[in-house]
Chain A
Amino acid sequence: MRDVGIVSFAQTAVARDDRHNETEMLVPTIQAAIKQSGIAKDDLGFVCSGSLDYLQGGPFAFVSGLDAVGSWPPMRESHVEMDAAWALYEAWVGIQSGEFESALVYGFGKSSPGDLHEIMTLQTDPYYMVPLWPSMVDMAALQARAYLDASGKEESDLADVAARSQRNAKSNPYAIRSGDLDAKQVLAQPVTHDPLRDADIPPITDGTAAVVIAAGDLARSVCERPAWIRALDHRIEAHALGVRDLATSDSTTIAGERAGVHDGDIDVAELHAQFSHEELILAEALGLDGDTVINPSGGPLASNPVMSAGLIRMGEVARRIIAGEAQRGIAHATSGPCLQQNLVCVLEGN
């Protein structure tokens, strides 16, 4: 495997941006990532993005994102209708093949225009589930209840996660929610989607993220401490909620093992846990003990720009490595209802 490193990362996130469309939101993010990378736009070998047409309410919505890149002269470019974490995966594979040496990866999406929780219902079985319209939060709540029942954990454990997320997010300028919250305050919130409370549910976020990755020598020439991608693995589970063990995340465990998560110390873990119970499930699935710092950024419970949130996990680990604050970390991304599909990335400094 070739050495490939993340050499820059930029993001934006607000609760709702009524002034800028997705393309306009992307411009500063992409420009920042390219500038930070030290690689000129015209020298980038590949561009790959992740987005979801349904967030924009129309087909081919992703095409408008390309206007923020400036793909002229024509560029090698592709797109996944998935979180941009998988766009990074595609770009990483391309560099591994040797076709190019660097790539710009970006994700974008606004959750504020539509009803995100209903939009995500359309991810489910078109015949057996969609007609009942279980929302994204309804389904998460089903998993939360199953987890609490199987694990013996309690709502206070969920509240601990939710509170810590917002406290961690105090240092994150892109947080939608942050503050000195404690578990008691969370438990005082009304339960809105039994057993979940507002703090257990991610905030609606409009946002973008961009990352530049580069192969070995190029990465070293532009970045003193690239965040090397040591491993990337992703796995998907069966679709129906009723055939899966919702209290565990087997695909995360498998991806983590394949990625060699425990081949070294884990200084930091950024998990794409949109709900508080998901963080507990994922931490167990990855075998993370209480010593690992999880979601120092605050995670998706603090800021959840859908379609960028997974890429942001990778960016948040990467930037700590680049800054010398961490040596080795893991980033996780998820897709689908109730953690159906999971990607694990191991990042390490020199």
Chain B
Amino acid sequence: MADPLVMPHVLEYPGGYTRSVGPVIGRFLTGLRDGRIEAVKLADGRVLVPPTEYDPSTSAEVEAEGSHWIEVGPRGTVQTYTWVAEPRAGKHPLTKPFAFALIRPDGADTALLHVVDCQSADAIRIGLRVAPRWKNERTGHITDIEAFVPLGDGEEPEPPAVHPPAEDEQPVTGITVETRLEYRLTAGEATARYLEGLGQGKIIGGRAPDSSDVYAASRGTDPISGQATTVEVEVQSSGVVTTFCVVNIPGLSELAPEIPYVSAQILLDGANNTFFGLIRGVEVDDVHMGMRVKAKWADELKPDHTSILWWEPTGEPDEEYERYKDYL
């Protein structure tokens, strides 16, 4: 049995998600850029902040007959809080311990989520009066407020630095949000076994005890029965191209070769499933269905996919269509 195999993985859309915000969120964010907290006063008098586009009680558009925008705060009151003793680097807005809080700005009927920069866990409580500390440079983002800070009795909130409008500055229409998530993913027994085999120059497949179908590079089950493929079966590293396409799009994968290249479904001798492989060692135009191929092993074998560089023609006569037609 192979050792457990775990590898790191990062899920991140490069550059961050480009989110268009629409007019309501856009107006609120534009207000933040200008150093103001804006809210929508609904027709029934409720003041909603941060303004979502649709009334949480009725689903009506908040910008409807009888509603209008008003400024709220800047002072506010903490409705609830928690202390973050170990801020998450690269994610939480502050690098030193802080409090998350739901803060109800003066004049509003709802609370907004933000952070409170206070000295310690003891300094935050329900009912604490706070005011925003604005970033000097603001872009129209919830983080234009760097944090809320406790406001003493009689203390005036610090006004925001004036945001000098850039030439042709428009109301905020979008934000970019990075969301990087890290994982340690498990290969699973069947894949670990397969990759270990690659490191030994072998292709290890598996079959379920009750079946004769051998799955090369399987995810661990016989998909027909749902049984685990616990019986190891070595499969040959030669087989046939059942079908293929010529890829002409550059940059689809980090390890993709120069275009054009051939991505083929390959049925290995001894296996009952196909998988995708890169074909080389032959002119792209000469690749054809039925072509017999064999693995081109790397000089240095490792228990990962780098051990098989590509698949190349064996030079043998083509496989007859009858032999592989059930695998298309």
Report which A residues bind B (CB closer than 8 A). Answer: 17-21, 23-24, 27, 30-31, 41, 54, 56-58, 64, 66-72, 110, 112-115, 118-119, 122, 125-135, 138-139, 141-146, 149, 192-196, 238-243, 246
Residue on A with the closest CB to B88? A133
Instruction: Give Cα A23–Cα B183 distance, bound, in whole angstroms.
Output: 18
Chain B residues near A130: list those with CB within 8 A.
Answer: 177, 179
Q: List 8 A-B contacts (CB under 8 A).
A: A31-B226, A68-B221, A110-B186, A144-B82, A145-B81, A241-B102, A242-B79, A243-B56
Residue pair B100, A142 in contact (C-beta under 8 Å): yes
- Measured between C-beta atoms, what is the minimum distance from B184 to chain A in Å? 5
Chain B contact residue count (CB 8 A cutoff): 66
Residue pair B121, A18 in contact (C-beta under 8 Å): no
Residue pair A54, B82 in contact (C-beta under 8 Å): no
Residue pair B191, A27 in contact (C-beta under 8 Å): no
Report which B residues bind A (CB closer than 8 A). Answer: 4, 6, 9, 11, 17, 19, 21, 25, 29, 48-50, 52, 56-57, 79-85, 88, 91-93, 100-102, 104, 110-115, 121, 126, 141-143, 175, 177, 179, 181-192, 219-228
Residue pair B142, A23 in contact (C-beta under 8 Å): no
- Selected contact of A131 from candidates B104, B142, B221, CB within 8 Å: B142
Besides the contacts A194-B85, A194-B121, what 16 more A-B pairs have beta carbons closer than 8 Å? A19-B186, A23-B221, A27-B220, A41-B226, A113-B185, A118-B88, A126-B17, A126-B177, A127-B175, A133-B91, A139-B100, A141-B100, A145-B81, A149-B126, A193-B84, A241-B113
Known: A23-B219, A24-B189, A115-B182. A146 touches B79 (CB 8 A): yes
Residue pair A132, B223 in contact (C-beta under 8 Å): no
Residue on B with the closest CB to A247? B80
Residue pair B226, A70 in contact (C-beta under 8 Å): yes
- Measured between C-beta atoms, what is the minimum distance from A242 to chain B in Å? 3
Q: How many A-B residue pairs have CB under 8 A?
A: 189
Residue pair A194, B82 in contact (C-beta under 8 Å): yes
Chain A residues near B83: list those with CB within 8 A.
Answer: 193-194
- Selected contact of B88 from candidates A19, A135, A149, A241, CB within 8 Å: A135
4 tightest Cβ-Cβ pairs between the two chains A and B: A70-B226, A21-B188, A238-B56, A141-B82
Chain B residues near A69: list those with CB within 8 A.
Answer: 226
Instruction: Give Cα A107–Cα B207 distance, bound, in whole angstroms.
Output: 25
Chain B residues near A118: list those with CB within 8 A.
Answer: 88, 91, 181
Residue pair B186, A18 in contact (C-beta under 8 Å): yes
Instruction: Give Cα A119–Cα B181 distance, bound, in whole angstroms.
Output: 7
Residue pair A21, B191 in contact (C-beta under 8 Å): yes
Residue pair A132, B93 in contact (C-beta under 8 Å): yes
Residue pair A24, B110 in contact (C-beta under 8 Å): no
Residue on A with the closest CB to B3? A19
- Measured between C-beta atoms, what is the minimum distance from B139 to chain A in Å? 11
Chain B residues near A145: list those with CB within 8 A.
Answer: 80-82, 126
Chain B residues near A242: list those with CB within 8 A.
Answer: 49-50, 79, 102, 104, 110-113
- Measured between C-beta atoms, what is the minimum distance from B122 to chain A in Å? 10
Chain B residues near A135: list those with CB within 8 A.
Answer: 88
Chain B residues near A17: list those with CB within 8 A.
Answer: 186
Instruction: Give Cα A266–Cα B52 distance, bound, in whole angstroms.
Output: 40
Instruction: Give Cα A271–Cα B115 distance, bound, in whole angstroms.
Output: 31
Instruction: Give Cα A139–Cα B19 distance, bound, in whole angstroms.
Output: 24
Residue pair B141, A131 in contact (C-beta under 8 Å): yes
Chain A residues near B219: list those with CB within 8 A.
Answer: 21, 23-24, 64, 67
Instruction: Give Cα A129–Cα B101 distance, bound, in whole angstroms.
Output: 12
Instruction: Give Cα A170–Cα B190 distance, bound, in whole angstroms.
Output: 33
Known: A68-B221, A138-B82, A149-B80. A115 touches B181 (CB 8 A): yes
